[in-house]
Amino acid sequence: RGIEQGCATAACQESVAKVQGRPDADRRLALGTTFVVACGDELARFGFKADQDGFQQMFDQVHAQRHDPEVVARAWNIERLMRVGRGEWFGIEDYDEAGAVA
């Protein structure tokens, strides 16, 4: 929940809004930096380093739990807050009531 709260702060949302419309590579880099600033402390609390490898480990762990409806809902909410496409960060594009992931 802390990561969602970090992404929802006014400062994070301002930064996210500022990078919209940038070329894709620039936008991705800026969103990653924004995510580090907003959520780095919370991620460290869970043992993830605030670097590219740490974030990849976090994304991989979330994806590994893609059959848990709460994890799916939180992942999609973080992606929504960061204004990336559903599944763009966590690789969870579809989910149904039976827990099947497409």
pLDDT of residue 52: 81
Gap between the Cα atoms of 92 and 57, Å rounded: 15
Q: Where are the domains of the chain?
A: 2-81
**Tokens at 24, concatenated:** 């894709």
pLDDT of residue 55: 86
Walk along the chain (102 residues) and give the pLDDT tens digit of each residue.
689 999 999 999 999 999 999 999 999 999 999 999 999 899 899 999 988 888 889 989 998 999 999 999 999 999 999 999 999 999 898 865 555 555
pLDDT of residue 101: 55
pLDDT of residue 97: 52
Number of Cβ atoms within 10 Å of the Cβ of 2? 12
